[in-house]
Structure 1
Amino acid sequence: MDAPVPPATEVESHDRGAGDDALSQAILRVLESVTGASTGNEIRGSISERLRANGAKIFKGALCLTPIHLLRSSSSKLPSSTLGSMSNQKRPSANFHPNIWGDIFLSSPTTKVDPKTKLQHEGLKEEVRRMIKVAMDDELLYKLRLIDTIKRLGVSYHVEREIEEMTKLSRLLLFNFDCLERMDLVFLPVEWFNKLKDDEGNFNMSLTSDVKGLLELYEASHLRVHGEDILEEALGFTTTHLGLAKAAGTIEYPLSALVSHALYQPILRGLPRLEARRFISIYRDDVSHNKMLLKFAELDFLLLQTSHREQLSKISRQYITPSTFNIDYLPTKLPFVRDRLVENICKNIVMASIMDDTYDAYGTLEELQLLKNAIQRWDVDYIDQLPEYMKSFYKPLLDFYGEEEEAMIKQGKSYRVKYAKDVAKWCNENYVPTMKEYMRNAVVSAGYIMLIVTSFVGMGDFVTPEIFNWASNNPKIIYASSIIARLLNDVTSHKFEQERGHCASGVECYMREHAISEEEACRELMKQVENAWKDINQELIFSEISKVIPRPVLTRILNLTRVLDFIYKNGDGYTHVGKNTKDGITSLLIDPI
């Protein structure tokens, strides 16, 4: 049953002037689709009067499920106005804070990795491979914990084949169940957890004396899917008793550090490199650590940190050099965008962020229609049709995909960039609301699918045209990831957005539709986030796609979802770069291992 249309209250739009007629028509089309009216005669007069009398005031009921920039781009006709008149229109002020990093990343890292260190790294890699082969005959529990340690140290990508062989062997030693593997870690099937319960159906209290086992059960419970009630119970049970043990101060270090961090950030949802950096420090303090394995992890992190720092330094220099990346405009030509090069680190995400801020916080109806046309044409000759500020990023956008295409041509994979460009055009074209499903429209408008598909371009030969076709059709795992992106953003940033006159977010929509408080609405939306995580788990563990889509592709989607969980952990850590985001970037790119 469709949700009732919220009461008609007014909200200010930040568009005034020449765009009012087109905006009015867009609103009418939306309201007609919601109310079922064929002509909109019942509501047309009311909207027209309000638009004429009050500038661009609109019914909040009409916008409750649709961001304003979606409505702005739904018109196919441009009002007769010049580019000059566009520049005179009143625009909102987002007041985004500037880049917090200064010029720290302009220079290359001072610590260079010498050939001797690289040679030592290669030697240790071979030793780890031998370690795994030797452990094939060891006890099952030792093997599982060895795999877990290697993964948490962030070096499993070097020994994937060896780990796969070990997990296959381990699987044969376990009970004869169909599904034993979850997220590349071996877990018992859900039915097995009933053995941990007492005669009354509650988890046995004796489990609370084994903090390490309790922690492992806690981590396993985050791999639950829909209908696995016992894992829901396990999550509640372990969260409660780990919290009590932490508060009592009865857990010894370094296990206490693992428990504290797990309660804040479970393994499944943590960024792999950031989690590896943290675990290396904890593992170092464990008296039972394997010195060879620890040294390999430290050197591996150093090599990757140096490589990532050099790449960021190169992009940072291009960022302020007009003759290369040609994006010297952030402080001057585009003051309305979020200057977040370091947080983005990738050119395509920088461009997506600029597009988002243009649509969301600055562009007028006329300008956005021109931009939409320009992206559909994908032709540098169309640049003269754009206002000056849009020229600043339209050409770099084309140049970026041109560079990617040249690189792919050399590898015989030019088709990949075509898919990426097609999705970029598709996302830009689909800023059209239906009003019946806020989430589906919001997911499309966020451009998140574009980022996912673009991230596949530089991957290995296992990424085929079929993979791009699959991803471009917004399959369940990508849709679930997009849901998480949309709702986490809404919950953490809606207050700031409302203060700057933004349209209603999912929080305001849910509050109005269900007549509940902001706190209750946020709590309900976070339940939907948890459900989306279950969908991701379902697709990764039980779905047919886990058998036909290469694991690195699925892991890429999972890792992008993890980025969202990290960024929005304590608020909107992208718009407002706070301690969580800053500390994470510092530990990954600045602090020595």
Structure 2
Amino acid sequence: MEMHSSVTNDYVKRLEEMRKSAKFHPSIWGDYFLAYNSNNTQISSDEQEELAKLKEMVGKLLAQTPDDSQRKLELIDAIQRLGVDYHFEKEIDESLRYVYVNYEQQNNKNGDDLSTVARRFHLLRQHGYNVPSGVFQKFTDNEGNYVASLENNVEGLLNLYEAAHLLKHDEDILDRAIEFCSSYLRASLHKMTANASLSKRVNEALILNMPIRKTLPRLGARKFVSLYEEDESHNEILLKFAKLDFNLVQKMHQRELSDITRWWKKFDVANKMPYARDRIVELFMWMTGIFFEPCYAKA
């Protein structure tokens, strides 16, 4: 019994030495985020009123756009990529439910419009609808290869490329889509000088290897705001709403980060637990990268 106790004590002692020997570098942030406080992160009543006004206008635009139209798909896509879809979850769900119920009919209606077919597929799969990838067969030849005539349809190829990243196991048609689109889009980059927004979207997805599927929602929204603004067809009200919403949510995150930094500092982690990583800021950023919405503030 005594021998067992001695062995246990030695093991615990060695374990403690190992834990305390960790040479993690200190947090690079220090007290930086303590500068964010209730004064410089305050959201004014004017800002709240402006946000509510713009939200109502975007909501009306969403409601007035027919569910069976290409424009509705483009609008929902833009709202999601701009990071303001959490304001219109019910409306978007209802619209996509309608699209799903009429999926086959709508694909036949739009004929060979690759951009619309790919965007519809992408939005539905992204929302959990198990739509078949066979819808892309009409863009392939008898051997299952995508037809070369699509090479000049840059917008369509980019939408297909994004949609294909939602593939499931053994969906060869989507595997081939990624390869086909990558090849032609890379070759077309130098020809896109007339459309800066499209060129940057292609560069982001392919060259930087950051398709929508791999992008953190908040980071993607910040980048897309700039891209959307350069798009000549953008909706000014939606753009203004997205910018204001992003700035106000950012203020909320700054205030949260200040509070959590102050809370963490009280624990004096660096001195009391030198074997632990002092990475509270990084942990906060990872969480807000996924759950950025104000409703998750307490979590």
Match for residue 142 of structure 1 among 67, 71, 93: 71
- Within 5 Å, give how 1:44-443 maps onto structure 2: 79-81=7-9, 85-86=13-14, 89=17, 94-108=22-36, 110-136=40-66, 140-175=69-104, 181-184=124-127, 189-246=132-189, 248=190, 250=192, 252-263=195-206, 264-321=209-266, 327-330=267-270, 332-345=271-284
For residue 226 of structure 1, give the secondary structure of its aligned residue in structure 2: coil
Q: Residue 293 of structure 1 aligns to which amino acid in structure 2?
A: L
Aligned CA distance change for structure 1 residues 116 and 185 (closer, same or farther; 3 Å): farther
Q: Distance in 1 between matches of 2:164 and 2:101?
A: 23
* Runs (5+) with no aligned partner, structure 2: 107-119
CA contact (8 A) 1:224 1:231 kept: yes
User: What residue in structure 2 maps to residue 567 of structure 1?
Assistant: none
CA contact (8 A) 1:140 1:170 kept: no
C-alpha displacement at 1:80, in angstroms? 3.9
User: What residue in structure 1 maps to residue 113 of structure 2?
Assistant: none
For residue 345 of structure 1, give the secondary structure of its aligned residue in structure 2: helix
Q: TM-score, normalised by structure 1?
A: 0.41
Q: Residue 279 of structure 2 aligns to which amino acid in structure 1?
A: R
C-alpha displacement at 1:250, in angstroms? 3.4
Aligned CA distance change for structure 1 residues 132 and 204 (closer, same or farther; 3 Å): same
For residue 154 of structure 1, give the secondary structure of its aligned residue in structure 2: coil
Flag the structure with higher helix content.
2
Q: Residue 78 of structure 2 aligns to which amino acid in structure 1?
A: T
C-alpha displacement at 1:346, in angstroms? 8.2
* Higher normalized contact order (CA 8 Å, seq sep 6+, divided by chain length): 2
Q: Residue 172 of structure 2 aligns to which amino acid in structure 1?
A: D
Q: Distance in 1 between matches of 2:205 and 2:15?
A: 51
C-alpha displacement at 1:98, in angstroms? 2.2
Aligned CA distance change for structure 1 residues 255 and 93 (closer, same or farther; 3 Å): farther
CA contact (8 A) 1:167 1:186 kept: no
CA contact (8 A) 1:257 1:282 kept: yes
Aligned CA distance change for structure 1 residues 213 and 237 (closer, same or farther; 3 Å): same
Q: Residue 269 of structure 2 aligns to which amino acid in structure 1?
A: Y
Q: Residue 158 of structure 1 aligns to which amino acid in structure 2?
A: H
Q: Distance in 2 between matches of 1:129 and 1:163?
A: 10
Q: Residue 104 of structure 1 aligns to which amino acid in structure 2?
A: Y
For residue 296 of structure 1, give the secondary structure of its aligned residue in structure 2: helix
Aligned pairs, number: 268
C-alpha displacement at 1:145, in angstroms? 0.8
Aligned CA distance change for structure 1 residues 111 and 266 (closer, same or farther; 3 Å): same
* Structure with greater Cα Rg: 1
Q: Sequence identity of aligned pairs in percent?
A: 40
C-alpha displacement at 1:82, in angstroms? 6.6
